[in-house]
Structure 1
Amino acid sequence: MKARITWQEGVCFIGQTESGHTVTMDGAPEAGGENKGARPMEMMLLGMGGCTSFDVIYILRKGRQEVTDCQVEITAQRATRVPKVFTNIHLHFVISGRSLDHKLVGRAINLSAEKYCSASMMLRTTVNITHDFEIQEIA
Structure 2
Amino acid sequence: MKARVKWVEDVMFLGESGTGHTVVMDGPEEAGGHGTGMRPMELLLLGMGGCTAFDVIEILKKSRQDVHDCVVEINGERSEEIPKVYTNIHVHFKVTGRDIKSSFVERAITMSTEKYCSATLMMAKTATITHDFEIIDVD
TM-score normalised by length of structure 2: 0.98
Q: Which residue of 2 aligns with 1:43?
A: 43
- Secondary structure of the 2:61 match is helix
What residue number does 2:70 align with?
70
* Alpha-carbon shift at residue 105 of structure 1 (Å): 0.7
Q: Aligned residues, how many?
A: 139
**Residues of 2 paired with 1:24 and 1:66: CA distance?**
36
2:138 alignment counterpart? 138
Q: Tell me, in whole angstroms, the C-alpha distance in 1 between the residues paired with 2:34 and 2:40.
A: 14
- Matches for 1:1-139 after TM superposition, within 5 Å: 1-139=1-139
The RMSD of aligned alpha carbons is 0.6
| Structure 1 portions without partners, runs of 5+ | none
CA deviation string 1:84-137 (max 9, x = no partner): 110000000000000101100110011001000000011112210010000000
Which runs of structure 1 show a deviation greater than 2 angstroms over 4 or more consecutive aligned residues?
Answer: none
User: What is the Cα deviation at residue 18 of structure 1?
Assistant: 0.7
Q: Separation in 2 of the partners of 1:66 and 1:12?
A: 42
In the aligned structure 2, how far is the partner of 1:7 from the partner of 1:65?
A: 45
| 1:52-94 CA-partner distances (Å, limit 9, x unpaired) | 0000000001111111110011111111111111000000000
Structure 2 unaligned regions, length at least 5? none
Distance in 2, matches of 1:118 and 1:3, equals 17
Question: In structure 2, what is the Cα distance between the partners aligned to 1:9 and 1:72?
Answer: 33
Deviations 1:26-57 (A, max 9, x none): 00111100011110000000000000000000
